Amino acid sequence: MTELDLKLVGHNAVRLDGLEKITATAKYADDIDLGPGMLYAAILGSPYAHATIKSINTSDAEQVPGVHAVLSGQDCPGTCGLYLKDSQLFARDRVRYVGQQVAAVVASSQGIADKAISLVKVEYEPLPVLQDPLEALKPDAVLIHPDLGDYEVVPWLYPQPGTNIAHLRKIRKGDVEKAFEEADYILEDWYHIPHVVHAPIETHVSAALYTFDGRLTMWNSTQSPHTQRNILANVLNLKHKDVRIITPYVGGGFGGKAGVNMEVIAAACAMKVPGHPVKIRYSRKDEFQNTSQRQELKAYVKMGVKNDGTIVALKHQLFWDVGASAEYGSNVVNATGFSATGPYRIPNVWIDSYAIYTNRPPCGAYRGFGYSEFHFGIESHIDRIAKALNMDPVEFRKKNAIQEGDTVAYGVEMGPTGILKCIDEVAKAIEWGKESKSDDVNRVRGKGFALVWKAPAMPANESSAAFIKFNEDASINILVSGMELGQGFMTAMGKIAAEELGLPLEKVRVELPDTDRNPYEWQTVASHVTWSCGNAVRRAAIDARNQIINVVSIAHHIEEADLYLEDGTVKCHAKPDFALPLEEFVINGIQMSDGTFRGGPVLGRGSFMPEFTSAKVDPETGMGGHPNVHYTTGAGAVEIEIDKETGRVRVLRMAEAFDAGKAINPDLVKGQIEGGFVQGLGTALWEEVIFDEEGRIRNPNFTDYKIPTSLDAPREMHSIIVEVPQLDGPFGARGVGEHTMIPVMPAVANAIENALGIRIKSPPMTAEKIVQALKEETGKSL
451/317 Cα distance (integer angstroms): 20
Instruction: Determine how many CB atoms are found less than 10 A away from the CB of residue 768.
Output: 11
Model confidence band, residue 32 (pLDDT cutoffs 50, 70, 90):
confident
| Mean pLDDT of the region 152-173 | 98
Pairing of strands 216-220, 476-479: unpaired
DSSP string for residues in 369-415: TTHHHHHHHHHHHHHHHHHHTT--HHHHHHHHB--TT-B-TTSPBP-
User: 74 burial class (0-12, 13-18, 19+ CB within 10 angstroms)?
Assistant: exposed
Model confidence band, residue 778 (pLDDT cutoffs 50, 70, 90):
confident
* pLDDT (tens digit per residue) in 119-144: 999 999 999 999 999 999 999 999 99
Look at residue 8 and tell me whether its pLDDT is greater than 80.
no
Q: Find the length of the chain.
A: 782
In this structure, what are the phi and psi dihedrals at residue 756, rounded to the nearest 5 degrees? -120, -10
* pLDDT (tens digit per residue) in 202-251: 999 999 999 999 999 999 999 999 999 999 999 999 999 999 999 999 99
Cβ neighbours for 127, distance < 8 A, ≥ 6 positions apart:
50, 51, 52, 94, 142
- Dmax (CA) for the chain in angstroms is 98
DSSP string for residues in 168-216: EEEEEES-HHHHHHH-SEEEEEEEEE-------SS--EEEEEE-TTS-E
Torsion sign across C-alpha atoms 625, 633, 664, 331: positive
Pairing of strands 121-126, 716-722: unpaired
| Mean pLDDT of the region 341-349 | 98
443 alpha-carbon distance from chain centroid: 38
Whole-number pLDDT of residue 28: 76
Cβ neighbours for 199, distance < 8 A, ≥ 6 positions apart:
252, 254, 287, 687, 702, 705, 707
Helices 744-756 and 767-778, axial angle in degrees (round to 10): 40
423 touches 635 (CB < 8 A): yes
* pLDDT (tens digit per residue) in 474-491: 999 999 999 999 999 999
Whole-number pLDDT of residue 78: 81
338/351 Cα distance (integer angstroms): 8
676/658 Cα distance (integer angstroms): 12
* Per-residue exposure over 319-347, b if at least 16 CB sit within 10 Å of its own CB, e if not: bbbbbbbbbbbbbbbbbbbbbbbbbbbbb
496/482 Cα distance (integer angstroms): 14
What percentage of the chain has pLDDT greater than the value 90?
93
* pLDDT (tens digit per residue) in 609-665: 999 999 999 999 999 999 999 999 999 999 999 998 899 999 999 999 999 999 999
Which helix or strand (DSSP H or E) is residue 333 part of? helix 329-339
Look at residue 19 and tell me whether its pLDDT is greater than 70.
no
343 touches 419 (CB < 8 A): yes
Look at residue 516 and tell me whether its pLDDT is greater than 60.
yes
**CA distances from residue 91 to 62, 464, 736 in whole angstroms, order as listed:** 19, 35, 38
Instruction: Determine how many CB atoms are found less than 10 A away from the CB of residue 431.
Output: 14
100/690 Cα distance (integer angstroms): 18
| Mean pLDDT of the region 358-375 | 97
Cβ neighbours for 682, distance < 8 A, ≥ 6 positions apart:
196, 706, 707, 708, 712
481 touches 519 (CB < 8 A): yes
31/742 Cα distance (integer angstroms): 33
Look at residue 565 and tell me whether its pLDDT is greater than 70.
yes
Which helix or strand (DSSP H or E) is residue 494 part of? helix 489-501
Whole-number pLDDT of residue 499: 98
By C-alpha distance, which of 633, 614, 657 is closest to 430? Answer: 657
777/241 Cα distance (integer angstroms): 64
| Mean pLDDT of the region 517-525 | 97
What value does the mean pLDDT of the chain take?
Answer: 95
| Mean pLDDT of the region 74-97 | 94
The single residue of 674, 738, 776, 777 carrying the catalytic annotation is: 738
Look at residue 111 and tell me whether its pLDDT is greater than 80.
yes
281 - beta bridge partners?
A: 205
* pLDDT (tens digit per residue) in 286-329: 999 999 999 999 999 999 999 999 999 999 999 999 999 999 99
What percentage of the chain has pLDDT greater than the value 70?
96
**CA distances from residue 232 to 82, 90, 124, 259, 464 in whole angstroms, order as listed:** 11, 14, 29, 10, 20
130 touches 96 (CB < 8 A): no
Look at residue 459 and tell me whether its pLDDT is greater than 60.
yes
Lowest mean pLDDT among 76-85, 426-435, 751-760: 76-85
Look at residue 383 and tell me whether its pLDDT is greater than 70.
yes
Instruction: List alpha helices for 389-488, DSSP H.
Output: 393-400, 419-429
Side chain identity at residue 100, one-letter code: Q
Q: Can you give the C-alpha Rg of the chain in angstroms?
A: 28
Instruction: Determine how many CB atoms are found less than 10 A away from the CB of residue 24.
Output: 10
Side chain identity at residue 611, one-letter code: E
Counts for the chain of helices (H) and strands (E), in that order: 18, 30
Instruction: List alpha helices for 26-166, DSSP H.
Output: 59-62, 110-117, 133-136
* Per-residue exposure over 150-170, b if at least 16 CB sit within 10 Å of its own CB, e if not: ebebeebbbbeeebbbbbbbb
Look at residue 27 and tell me whether its pLDDT is greater than 80.
no
204/196 Cα distance (integer angstroms): 17
Annotated catalytic residue 182: no
Whole-number pLDDT of residue 31: 77
631/642 Cα distance (integer angstroms): 35
Return the DSSP state at 741.
G
* Per-residue exposure over 562-600, b if at least 16 CB sit within 10 Å of its own CB, e if not: ebebeebbbbbeeeeebebebbebbbebbeeeeeeebbe
452/382 Cα distance (integer angstroms): 12
User: Which long-range contacts link 420-423 to residues 24+ away (Cβ below 8 Å)?
Assistant: 421/657, 421/659, 421/722, 421/724, 422/451, 422/633, 422/634, 422/635, 422/657, 422/658, 422/659, 422/720, 422/722, 423/394, 423/397, 423/398, 423/451, 423/635, 423/657
508 - beta bridge partners?
A: 476
Look at residue 15 and tell me whether its pLDDT is greater than 80.
no
622/461 Cα distance (integer angstroms): 18
712/235 Cα distance (integer angstroms): 44
By C-alpha distance, which of 759, 775, 764 is closest to 190? Answer: 759
264/298 Cα distance (integer angstroms): 32
337 touches 171 (CB < 8 A): yes
User: According to the 3-state scheme, what is the secondary structure of 531-589?
Assistant: CHHHHHHHHHHHHHHHHHHHHHHHHHCCCHHHEEEECCEEEECCCCCCEEEHHHCCCCC
Whole-number pLDDT of residue 24: 52
Whole-number pLDDT of residue 3: 30
By C-alpha distance, which of 336, 299, 328 is closest to 628? Answer: 336
| Mean pLDDT of the region 355-379 | 98
| Mean pLDDT of the region 162-167 | 98
* pLDDT (tens digit per residue) in 710-733: 999 999 999 999 999 999 999 999
By C-alpha distance, which of 772, 768, 778, 781 is closest to 685? Answer: 768
